[in-house]
Structures are given as C-alpha cells and as structure tokens.
Chain A
Amino acid sequence: MGKFLARRLLNYVVLIFLATSFAYLLAATNLYPRGYFEQMQPPPTAEVINAQLDTLNLNDETPLAERYAVWLGGVVQGDFGQSIQGRDVTPQIWMKAGVTLRLITFATVLGAAVGIAVGAYSAVRQYRRFDKASTAVAFFVLSVPTVVIAISVQVGATAINDLVGFQLLIFSGEYSAGFRGEWWQLLLNRIHHALLPTIVLALSLFAAFARYQRNMMLDVLNADFVRTAMAKGLTRRRALFKHALRTALIPTITYFTFTFGIMVSGATFTEKIYGWHGMGAWLIDSISQHDVHVVAAVSFFMAVTVMAASFLSDILYAWLDPRVRV
C-alpha cells in the first residue's frame, strides 16, 4: 500500500508540474502585459515599458524559452515571480488560499453532510413524499446556475434587510473594513459575513450529494447483507444505518474529497459576487490585467488542491473499503 501511494504521489507531482507549465506557457503567449502598460495615463515611453517588462520577466521580446526558464528557476525556489503591479506573488497565494479554503471547507462539509443525510433518507423512503420533495428540490437547484443562485440569495437578503429595518444579512466582503474588537468579536464578524456565500455554495453541493447518495444507497438497500443483518436480529433502522449506509458512504466520501478539489475553482462566481478576495476572484482579475505570473500561480494552486484531494480520496478509499487494500 505504501509503495502504491508513493508511486501515486510521484505521478501527481509530475502532473502538477505539467499543468502549471502549460498554464504559464498559455498565459505567456496569449496575455499581453505590454498592453497593460501602454494603456497607462500618461502613456510611458517604450523604453520605460521595456524596462518594466524586463524586471518583471514579462517582456514579449525576450524568447519564450528564456522567460520560462527564469520563471521556472524561481518557482523551484518557491518564488512565483511578481504580479504586474510589481508585488511578490508568493505571499499573496497564502492569503488568497486562506480565504478560499475557509469558504469552501465549511460549504462542502455543510453541503455534503446535509446532502448525504437527505439522500440516504430519501432512498429509504423511495417514492414516498419525502423522496419526491427532495428530488424536486435537488433537480431544481441543479438546473439553476450558481450565478443565479448567488444573485437570488443576495436579492432575497436585501429584501429581508429592508423588512427588518437593519442589516441582518451581509452580502459583501469577508469582514467589515476597519473593524476593531476582541478576538471573538472578530470571529463573529467573519462568520456573519461568511453566512450567505457559504449557503450559496452549500446549496448546489447539497443537491449533487443528495442525488449521488440516494443512488448509492438504493444500490445497497436491498443488498443481501442488509437482509443478513436483519436476520441476525438488528432492527431495520439499525441494519440500514450500520450496514447499508456505511457501505454506501464509501463512494460518496471519495466523491467528497474530489469535489473539494474542484470547488477551489468552482467557487469563483460566488467569490466575485460576494466580494471575497479569494483564489477564483484573483484569477479573473489577473486575466483581465494580463498578469501572467498570477495566472500561473493560481493554476498551480488549483492543480495542487485537485491532486491533494484525489490523493486523499485514494487513502480514504483504502481505509474505508477493505476490498481495495493490497
């Protein structure tokens, strides 16, 4: 098993390297940092622009291979270069990653937990009222794009705020700018801000998980081993909980870790709409600013999270399912 995981890990490192390199090359050939400087008011002279681009290692007159080599040399030492404004990218990665990870951790855990509970229960009550209702809700949520959900929730929050007469629900920013107070007040303030975007993200995850868990559960609901458990003397409820759900959770949990990786880029819209300065929002901004190094850095981060998630799912699978252990 250890050998298998080590080999997997090596595969992932290679994949991350390839993904990041491709992202850099794509960004370096297609984005136009020179244009960013040319648009400045007053327009700088060509020499100044070239000098700027050279210090940032973004000059399109330098051969691509050379730029790539310089960039790669930095990356190997943990330096992702500078953003187009001349700030170091690496420290920003940690900051933005923190924002995004905080958001999606809570959202995926919440969405998956509710989704699994609802999905499993609706499988047990197949074709009954609860099942039909949860199916309808799940499909409705799945069919609405996240953007629409995010904006609808915002509109709804505004209406509620108007109704109660003060700002009960906050839908902009990660925390109140310039807020001062004890640590718990700060925490409360952050939670207050995180409420709505977390719900938005959790909502669509809930729908996916509810459908997935329902199908997994239906597969094992009439399995022979559930019948055996009941024949031993377990009540139906206990047999379903201890034997059926435990078995049906295996694929869902690996799906969960995978979703977590995907969410890093999936949360982009929500971050943008709710004014959170996370990874997704950063990527969008950097593309519009022709910021090659940030695009590469964000791609690197996303590749790492996806790979880490699937590595984790490998480990979890082996831990949960004795059949795949070698």
Chain B
Amino acid sequence: MSTETVAATDVARDGRTADSPVLEVTDLTVTFPGFDGNPDVHAVRGVSYAVGRGEVLGIVGESGSGKSVSSMAAMGLLPEHARITGSVLLHGEEILGLDDRAMAAKRGKVISMVFQDPLSGLTPVYTVGDQLAEAVLVHDPKTPKAKAHDRAVELLDLVGIPNAAQRYRSFPHEFSGGMRQRVMIAMAMANNPDVIICDEPTTALDVTIQAQILDLLRTAQNETGAAIVMITHDLGVVAGFVDRVLVMYAGRPVEIGTVDEIYYSSRMPYTMGLLGAVPRMDLDRQGALVPIKGTPPSLSHLPPGCPFAPRCPIAQPECEAAEPELLAIGSQPSAEAIRLAHADGGTAPGSTGVHDTGVQRVACIRSGEIADRGWTAQDIYPVPEIPDVPAADVPREDRPEMLRVEGLVKHHALNKGMVFKRRVGTVYAVDGIDFDIREGETLALVGESGCGKSTTLMQIMDLEKPQSGSVSVMGKDVTTLGKSGRFALRRDMQIVFQDPMSSLDPRMPVFDIIAEPLRAHRTGTAEVTRRVYELIQLVGLDPEHATRFPSEFSGGQRQRIGIARALALEPKLLVLDEPVSALDVSIQAGVVNLLEELQARLGLSYLFVAHDLSVVRHIADRVAVMYLGRIVEIGDTRSVYSRPAHPYTQALLSAIPIPDPEKERARTHIVLDGDLPSPANPPSGCRFRTRCQKFITLSDTEKDTCVNVEPQILATNGGDQGAACHYAERRQVV
C-alpha cells in the first residue's frame, strides 16, 4: 500500500468512527485444500468490507466468485478442512478462529443468515414452530417452553404467515417456497441480531414472491435495525435494496462503492460488462446485450495478473504482470511502474491488507483512464451488430403461420389407491389457451412456476391429439398426422432445453450429439460431417471442440451445443424452454445475442418459455402471460410492457426490480398477497381474483362478475394486445 492511501484510509476511518462498523471483514481468504494431488481451490482471496448499523451492503458476483463462501466463512459454517485467514471483527471482537461452541453462541444471536433454497433449508421432521422456538431456546435455555412458543408465534405473525398460532404445528412440506423463506427470515430475526447475511434469498422464488420477500427483509431491517449483507447475482435486486455494492470476481473484490457509483460510474471493465449484459425490462430498444467473452477462470488455476484480463476487451500487457489492488480511482500505479516492478522480479505488489474505507475503489490499472475518458460498456465492449429479421417488413397477418394453438387443454387426473385407482380430482395444468406464431417471430410464454407454460410446450412437442382443442404446425393439424407424418414434421420443429447439464448425453462427444438428429433422419455420412462442422461454427464454437465430451464445457458452451443440435435439421420453429435461466448474466448475454442473430440469419420462429421477464422483453416480439393454466394477457411485447392491461401482468412487471438505482428507488411495487392457488382447485370465475389488487377496490356488484364469470381475452388497444379481465385498464407500471 502506498503512503498516500494509508493516509487517506486513516482519514476516512476517522470520519466513520462515530458509527463504527458492526461487521468488519479484512483480507479474508478461504482455501479448500485439494485432496489426492488435486490443486488447492482458492475460493476467496482477500475480501475486505465493513457494514455499519442499519446499512445494507450488496455483494454481487457470478457463480463461483466466492461471494457465498466468504460470508459462510464469517459465520463459521465452512467445513473444517477449509483454510481461512484474515480477520472478521464483530463489534470489534475477532470471531475468526473461535471454536465451534463460542461461535455457535454468536450465530443466530448477533449474526444470522438467510439461505438461498428455502425448500431444503428446514428440517423436514420437525414442525416449523418448533424449529423457530429452537432458535430462541438455544441461546437462552432457561426460557420457559411456553414463552419460546409465544415468541415463535409472534415471529410467524410478523413475517406474514396467516393463522400463525395454528401454522406453528405445520411441517415444512406443508408450506410453499415463499412461506418457508418467510420462516427462514423469522428464524434469522428471532434474537434481534445486529447483522443479517442474506445469501441469494430470492433466487429460488418467483418474481411476485420475490417482491414479498424483499418487502419483508426491509421490515426485518426496520424491526431489528440490523446491518444487512445481501449476496446476490441479480443486479436488479441490488439496485433497489442496498446502500453500497461490492463486486466480486474469481474470489476477489474488484470494485466497491455506493450503489450509484457502481451503477452510473463503474470504473471496472468487469462491472461495466456485467451491467451491460443484463437485459432491461424498462428499456424499449436496448440493442444487443454486452457479451463478455470466455468464462470465469478456474479457482485452482488462476491466470497470472488480473484474473479478468483474459476476458477484458481493454487488457494491456501490464494487466498480466500483477494482480491489481483494490485502490481508489486514480491511485493505481502507472503502466511503467508495473513494468519496472515486474522486471525487478517482483510479483504481486503485496496482498491487499486494505480496510474498507467507504470510498469507491477499483481493482483495475486502467480505472483512472476509464474515469477520465468517461467510457461506458458500449465504448469498451465490441457489441455485435444484429441484423433485422428479413420478414419483419411484412405485417404479421400476411406472414405464414408456423404454429397455431386453439383451445388447448391438458388436465392431469389425480388418482388415489394402488390396486383400484379412482379419480379424486383434476389438475387443470393447461385449460384452454389460444395463440399463434408467424414466420420469423418470437412468442414468449411467461408466468410463474406452476402456471402451465412447460406443460403447454410439452403438449405441443408431443404432436399428439390434445385432450381438447387443436395444435397445428405449419398449417398441418397434428391430429390428422400418421406416424410418418409426425416424424417428418419433427424436422421442422426442434427444442432447446433449460438445463444444459442434463440435456446432453455425457458419454457422447459433441460431434455425435449434433449428428444424432441428422442420422435419425437418415442423412448421408459425408453430409452429416459437413453439416456438423457448419453448425459448430454457426453457434460460435471451435471445430476442435467436436471430439470433446459435454463435461469439458461450461454452461454457456453446452447451451450452444444444445442449440446446434436443435438446428441440425434446419427447423423453421424452435421451441426454447428457459434456455438461459441456468446461465450467469455474462454468459446469458452471449446466448441471447446468438439466438437473436440466428433468428435473423435463418428466419426462424421461436416459441420462448421463460419466467425472466427482462430476457423476454429483450428477445420476444409478442408475449403471452399465463396464470393457472390460462393466458391472461397477450400482445406485442412493446404494448404489453409499456401499458399492461391485466392486473396480473401489471403486478408481475411491477414486481421485477430494475437494475437502475434511481428508477428503482422511485418505483412503488405492487406486492401481491399470498401464493399461487392450487391448479387442482382454481378459483371460480376469474382465476386471479383471489390475489388481484384490483378486485379489492371494486364494488360488490362488480366483484360478482369476477367471481361468477370467467373473463375472455378481449382486445384492449384495438390492436394486437388483449387481456382476460372484466375491468382491464391499460396503465404504465414500469
């Protein structure tokens, strides 16, 4: 550390002594030793941050960046074999290296944590209330059982569990994901801790539930006055929720600053790329996303110098000399100084024993230059030009129909009994939906989990006669097709799956994976070889990848293989089942761009199923919003997003946080009550009425219509947009 920064640090620290940090992490490193000759994994390499009372710090990074591991280390929750160094001060007391008993006394009392997956986070064999009461009792065994019980009920009530006293005796499996996360938060709040660490608390939840949980976390903060460390990969969640942001990459903090500094004047190419890679729900014409080439480095084989240099568009030779420190903008050593130091045989200029000072600091040797020239992501990243779809000039009514679905129904029977099955109910998975897709067009089916979007997809891909209604592909009704007709039609309609890990056969090399559909349709050997290499290049892979196995690829590359396989037979319609939801933001951008480019070049039509409405706005021409097996609103993306008419669409769009702090702070979210009703027992009339924010404002006679009459989709703007609501009213919510 240079002398100026030491002085600057001291000044800054003095300025903050009035409100000394509750949790201060300094130069934390975590290494998992490799067993059996495997190299060590350097999961965290020098993290420093401080959070004060009532402050919210966001830690942002992609998977494998060390953001979760660093907070688990602070909680003392890592396995024994992890090697941890550095310092973690809780109220000025060193807690790193405390034995398990001493640490257990702090956990849950002074510092507590909310985890990502609420479904597996609660012990299945104890009641929710007992587990909550245990959190109270474990820190004060002398508390009478009855008092702990009362406190647990009070907490359940506080986090918004209806009928708390009765639900005390429920088991975790009787709760939905959102409710379980509420219980987890109640648990974290139980002893009024001073720090709450939230590790991706909303990642596993649907957007409307996410909005509820974020609301609740704000309540929890007000209630306890705790400092919050919010770990997430979702830049939207961070924008509206946190005060300061720490960006991590490859186990190291690469930028830290206030949320406005990071979002509006980031000086680190990685952060800039990340922000540019996020599809925006609030922007109409965003243009191509910023793709960050390559993949994050392996934490056991780090490149020399800056770990981001291999992916950085403005990397210089000096970047590879030494790993840059996290310094204030303008304090980085010059390129010459680094060259000199490197020539002297010096490696990294010492570890970063830096305290968090509260000012924006960046680990990039060109940060000063970026600040001076005012570069943005679009300036430094080569953004691909995506040509327009050739068919876009023709009005959609005149373009040929690729897929038409009318009144499609898929009900599952609920059976009981093993020998003599009898029907006890019906799951109305898909209950009469209509839509069509024209040439060169993308229709997105969106909705929360359980709304029937995947069932719709599978029913279409089946090419079988539906239970009711009709499906026609390229003008051919599938019910009229024989076996050979179906086989021939499959050429024109291919699918890309959600999980790139499990949708590729791990025992097949890439060449065989892509060649399989061609061989199934009896293509000649020479033609197969030519076509496979053509496809490999088309999706942006190297020809030399053909002989490798799926396990050697990253998630984004695997998804490209999946796309190549789907394109092998030159289909006209591609069905995409959440194709990017398993990918990190920077990787997702590349795949989204690829899909847009392929559509333009090959004139494809897409049926795109997704729950991420931001991606949908970016890629889709038309969007259909589903709720409990029905389409509630359909129309061109622009109209639906700018002026949604159905209350559910409005709530859905309103619930999504926008990665823009100023906009996000100014917004008010519509927070829906409760969970999705069971599709086995949908409400009468309008299915959304039980959660509808509009329903409660209606008069009793108006309500009667909602309860008794099922609304049909009616045009709301005289054009393409239509909504299934008796009281549809177009309004802006984003």
Asked whether, in the complex, the Cβ of A234 is within 8 Å of the Cβ of B115, the reply is: no
Asked whether, in the complex, the Cβ of A235 is within 8 Å of the Cβ of B104, the reply is: yes
Select which of B35, B77, B125 is within 8 A of A230 by beta carbon: B77
Question: A223–B135 Cα gap in the complex (Å)?
Answer: 18
A321 located at the interface, meaning its Cβ lies under 8 Å from any Cβ of chain B in the complex: yes
Provide the residues of chain A in CB contact with B108, threshold 8 Å: 231-233
Question: A315–B77 Cα gap in the complex (Å)?
Answer: 36
Give a binary string over B88-127; 1 marks a CB under 8 Å from any A CB, 0 the rest. 0000000000001100111111001101010011111111
Question: A246–B135 Cα gap in the complex (Å)?
Answer: 18
A320 located at the interface, meaning its Cβ lies under 8 Å from any Cβ of chain B in the complex: yes
Asked whether, in the complex, the Cβ of A231 is within 8 Å of the Cβ of B75, the reply is: yes
- B101 → chain A closest CB, angstroms: 6
Number of interface residues of A (CB under 8 A): 24
Residue among B124, B173, B187 facing the most chain A CB atoms (10 A cut-off): B124
Provide the residues of chain B in CB contact with A225, threshold 8 Å: 120-124
Asked whether, in the complex, the Cβ of B107 is within 8 Å of the Cβ of A230, the reply is: yes
- B165 → chain A closest CB, angstroms: 19
B134 located at the interface, meaning its Cβ lies under 8 Å from any Cβ of chain A in the complex: yes
Asked whether, in the complex, the Cβ of A228 is within 8 Å of the Cβ of B124, the reply is: no
Provide the residues of chain B in CB contact with A235, threshold 8 Å: 100-101, 104
Main secondary structure of the interface of B (DSSP, over half): loop
Question: A71–B273 Cα gap in the complex (Å)?
Answer: 86
User: In chain A, residues 227-252, which have Cβ atoms closer than 8 Å to a Cβ of chain B?
Assistant: 227-238, 243, 246-247, 250
Nearest chain A residue, comparing its CB with the CB of B35: A127
Asked whether, in the complex, the Cβ of B171 is within 8 Å of the Cβ of A227, the reply is: no
Asked whether, in the complex, the Cβ of A228 is within 8 Å of the Cβ of B184, the reply is: yes
Select which of B107, B122, B131, B171 is within 8 A of A233 by beta carbon: B107
Asked whether, in the complex, the Cβ of A227 is within 8 Å of the Cβ of B77, the reply is: yes
Given A231-B77, A233-B107: A224 and B124 within 8 A (CB)? no
Asked whether, in the complex, the Cβ of B124 is within 8 Å of the Cβ of A247, the reply is: yes
User: In chain B, residues 49-107, which have Cβ atoms closer than 8 Å to a Cβ of chain A?
Assistant: 75, 77, 100-101, 104-107
Given A322-B171, A323-B171: A233 and B139 within 8 A (CB)? yes
Provide the residues of chain A in CB contact with B112, threshold 8 Å: 231-232
Provide the residues of chain B in CB contact with A127, threshold 8 Å: 35
Asked whether, in the complex, the Cβ of A234 is within 8 Å of the Cβ of B104, the reply is: yes
- A224 → chain B closest CB, angstroms: 4
Given A323-B171, A323-B173: A230 and B104 within 8 A (CB)? yes
- A319 → chain B closest CB, angstroms: 10
Question: A228–B107 Cα gap in the complex (Å)?
Answer: 10
Question: A227–B120 Cα gap in the complex (Å)?
Answer: 10
B138 located at the interface, meaning its Cβ lies under 8 Å from any Cβ of chain A in the complex: yes
Nearest chain B residue, comparing its CB with the CB of A228: B121
Provide the residues of chain A in CB contact with B117, threshold 8 Å: 224
- B671 → chain A closest CB, angstroms: 26
Nearest chain B residue, comparing its CB with the CB of A247: B125
Give a binary string over A25-50; 1 marks a CB under 8 Å from any B CB, 0 the rest. 00000000000000000000000000
Asked whether, in the complex, the Cβ of A232 is within 8 Å of the Cβ of B138, the reply is: yes
Supply 13 further A-B pairs (C-beta < 8 A) apart from A227-B121, A322-B124. Answer: A225-B123, A228-B184, A228-B187, A231-B107, A231-B112, A231-B188, A232-B134, A232-B190, A235-B100, A235-B101, A237-B100, A322-B127, A322-B173
Q: List 28 A-B contacts (CB under 8 A).
A: A224-B120, A225-B124, A227-B77, A227-B121, A228-B115, A228-B121, A228-B122, A228-B123, A228-B184, A231-B115, A231-B188, A232-B107, A232-B108, A232-B138, A233-B109, A233-B138, A233-B139, A236-B100, A236-B104, A238-B104, A243-B123, A246-B123, A320-B125, A321-B124, A322-B124, A322-B173, A323-B171, A323-B173
